[in-house]
Amino acid sequence: MQWHPLPRLVVSLPAALWLFAFACDLIGLIDRENWIWPSIAFYALAAGTAAAIVALAFQFVSLRRVPKLAQQSARRQVTVNAIVLIAFALDIGVRLSDFFGITMPVAFSALGVALLVLAPRLGGDPPLARAMPGRGSLS
């Protein structure tokens, strides 16, 4: 089996878009007169969530190819990634309902970024990347 960089890109892209959205949120809190920042943050958040759904699909497909020794760790990684995805999906829901104002979406983004930062600690070392031949394979 040949290693392809596409799954790594698909996993990295949502994190980059979500961090960019959080930065836009912080800029939007500082510069409240310019309404472009919350809009950019929303679209970056939506694009990151869409990319995360694709990444999660790649991870579910890759679960079948993970060696038996890493199955539990791989499932934990996919579960943690799904929880981070749900947190950002809730952030989109908060933004779509105009009930919460300006600061609540930023708080949800901060929660999602905190989960994103803690994800490697919660999920352990990424076994899906280690299980690929030629990249530190377990077998």
pLDDT, tens only, 20-64:
999 999 998 888 788 898 899 999 999 999 999 988 888 888 888
Question: Of 75, 76, 88, nearest to 115 (Cα)?
Answer: 88
Q: How many CB atoms lie within 10 A of CB 107?
A: 13
| 128 vs 59: which has the higher pLDDT | 59
CA dist 122 and 5 (Å) reads 24
- Identify whether the C-beta of residue 100 lies closer than 8 Å to the C-beta of residue 94: yes
Q: What is the DSSP string of 45-74?
A: HHHHHHHHHHHHHHHHHHGGGS-GGGHHHH
CA dist 129 and 113 (Å) reads 22
User: Rounded mean pLDDT of 115-138?
Assistant: 60
User: At how many degrees (to 10) do helices 36-62 and 71-96 cross?
Assistant: 150
pTM assigned to the model: 0.77
CA dist 84 and 71 (Å) reads 20
99: pLDDT strictly greater than 90:
no
